[in-house]
């Protein structure tokens, strides 16, 4: 299981980015933004499993990441990667952090999302 703290440490070390908490109503939702343009490259949320069509209503942590459109279909076949919750489903995926064994499994996707949202 990957924790949000591991992701925060990774993006801090790699990009110098601290999480941003933009919504008072959803105070646990953390946006990961570029310093230069303010665009999100990641959004970490605690949602219920049914939002990803899982068979439970337990709270889970997910990260939404932007990915290349041509890889979305194959990515969604991997364990823990789902159709995006809240974001554009043709460009973003939601990753259930409870199902990911280590940060290395998703670090390339975090980097890809950062690069895709740079422009």
CA 2 to chain CA centroid, Å, is 11
Q: What is the pLDDT of residues 25-81, one digit of tens each?
A: 999 999 999 988 889 999 999 999 999 999 999 999 999 999 999 999 999 999 999
Q: Is the pLDDT of residue 91 over 80?
A: yes
3-state DSSP call for residue 18? coil
Say how far apart CA 68 and CA 26 lie, in whole Å: 28
Q: What is the mean pLDDT of the chain?
A: 95
Q: Tell me the longest C-alpha to C-alpha distance in the chain.
A: 40
**pLDDT of 119 higher than 90:** no
Residue 89: how many CB atoms within 10 A of its CB?
14
As a CATH number, domain 4-116 is: 3.90.1150.30
What does the domain layout of the chain look like in residue ranges?
4-116
pTM: 0.95
Nearest-angstrom CA–CA distance, 53 and 39: 28
Helix (H) or strand (E) holding 45: strand 40-48
């Amino acid at each position: 299981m990957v924790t949000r703290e591991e992701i925060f440490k990774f993006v801090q070390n790699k990009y110098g980015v601290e999480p941003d908490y933009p919504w008072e109503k959803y105070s646990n939702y953390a946006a990961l933004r570029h310093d230069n343009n303010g665009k999100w490259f990641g959004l970490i949320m605690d949602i219920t499993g049914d939002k990803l069509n899982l068979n439970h209503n337990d709270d889970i942590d997910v990260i939404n990441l932007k990915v290349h459109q041509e890889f979305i279909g194959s990515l969604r076949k991997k364990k823990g990667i789902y159709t995006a919750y809240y974001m554009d489903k043709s460009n973003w995926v939601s990753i259930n952090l409870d199902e990911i064994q280590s940060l290395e499994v998703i670090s390339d996707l975090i980097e890809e999302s950062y690069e895709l949202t740079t422009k």
